[in-house]
Structures are given as C-alpha cells and as structure tokens.
Amino acid sequence: MMMSQQFMKLSFIIIGFVLIAFLGVFVPTVHAQMSHKEMLQKADEARGNAEGIQWEISMDSIEGGREQHRTLRVNARGYNSLVDTLAPANVKGQKLLMQDRNMWFSKPGLSKAVPISPRQKLMGTAANGDIASTNYAGDYKIVSTEDGQLNSEACLVMDLQAVDSRATYDRIKYWVSKERIVGLKAEFYTVSGKMFKTATFEYKNSITINDKPREFISKMIINSAIIKDDVTAIKYSKPVLKKVSNAVFNLNLLTR
C-alpha cells in the first residue's frame, strides 16, 4: 500500500512537470503573436501615441550642479503633439509643436513660429523630442534584435537606426518588455557610435485603448553617459483621453 501511494505521488509530480513544459512550449506569449514593428508601435502607445490624450509633465534637472524645474502640458493625437509651458514664469507661454515629424517653437511676443530640431536641448539632459509623443516606430528602422533581460524581466532588445535627421537620436538601443510590451530602458548613441545618454521608464499610469487597459508612462529618468551627475527626471500626470481638434496642431494658430 505504501509503495502504491508513493508511486501515485511520483506520477502526479511527473504529470505536473509535463503540463508545465507543454504550456511553456505551446501557449504563445503576447510578443510571439506580434512582429517586432508591431511591438514598437505598442510601446509607442504607452508613451503618448494615442488618439487624443492630454497629460502634464513635471521636469527636474541637475546639470553641472545647477538645478532647474519646468511644468508642461501636452496635448497629443497620434504622432502630433503640442507642448505648453506652464511654469516657471520666465518661460511660461512657450510652446513646442510637433507635426508630421517637424517641430516649431513659439513664445509670447514672437510674431512667427520658428522651426527647430527635436534634437535641440530643452532642459538639462532632455531634448525637445523627449517630451513629444513618442514615434520610434515611424522615426527608426529596426536594424537587429536580440533577447535580453532587465531587472529579471524578459526583453527584446532592439537596435534602432534613425530613418532621417528629423529623428531625435541617430541610434537607440531599446529594451522592450516581452510581457508588457513597453519600453523599459534606452541607450542613445551618436552617429559615430558613442553612447551619450541613457533613459529608464516607469509605467504606473494607465489608459484604455480599444476597450483594453494599457500601461502608460509615469516617469522617465535621463542620465548623461558623459557627466555622471547630470540627470533629468520627467514625471507624467495621470493622462486624460479626450478629443483633440485639428486647430491644436495648426501652425498658423501657434502664435495667437
């Protein structure tokens, strides 16, 4: 009788292992059902690329020992976005418009908006393009991929190369979670291949897209790879899904 019970116990354990192995092999993971380009598009959605959305940004930077703070409001729809500066008082009213991968700047008193590059420095280690709606899927081509891990989370590590000079960076190494389909870390490189900045991302906000809840970015930390103490923290408020009219992205209305 004792031998029979031990045999049954051993049989259940073996069956359990077999089932786990079976499920591990045959149940497709989320990322396995998507192409690499689709993963990048999904990761963009978690960083602002949605059909009508608004959020506020709080930026704090330390650069060369100098501390700065800025508060911004972002209205975005797809790849277009309008950034209004709310504080401090000396830069209040400044605006950045991203439209069809082109960017313009305006401020009170300026009669005409000025074209600028997303690569230009905004504050601290952050560039203008860092606060606009993310469009890695459109601005970069996937040169290669490899499996990786970040903080014990399985990732697909993408090597992204800018399709032209309008992209914020020449090359990005991007860690995308296979389970959550969000970008976890990025390394930014010059055209010569030198890494000059890194960024990490957190997703404690959420939005609903096509009746499905999605994580949404809550924090981005940008560190200089050259001067270790230079850092910019970008905190995102809870996003609000809303209708954003075409007039918001009308260049002719930017200085009015």
Segment 80-98, tens digit of pLDDT: 999 999 999 999 999 999 9
Among the residue ranges 5-14, 169-178, 207-216, 232-241, the one predicted with the least confidence is: 5-14
CB 162 within 8 A of CB 173: no
Instruction: List the beta strands (DSSP E) in 78-152.
Output: 80-87, 95-99, 102-106, 114-116, 121-123, 126-127, 140-150
* Alpha helices (H) along 27-155: 36-45, 128-131, 136-139
Using left for φ > 0, alpha for ψ between -120 and 50, and beta otherwise, residue 210 falls in left
| Distance of alpha carbon 32 from alpha carbon 166, whole angstroms | 31
**Residue of 213 and 24 predicted with greater confidence:** 213
Residue labelled with tokens 């490899």: 146
Query: Which H or E run includes 82?
Result: strand 80-87
* Res. 2: pLDDT tops 60: no
| Distance of alpha carbon 130 from alpha carbon 138, whole angstroms | 15
181-221 tens-digit pLDDT? 999 999 999 999 999 999 999 999 998 878 888 899 999 99
Residue labelled with tokens 């291949």: 193
CB 80 within 8 A of CB 93: no
CB 204 within 8 A of CB 219: yes
pTM to 2 decimal places:
0.85
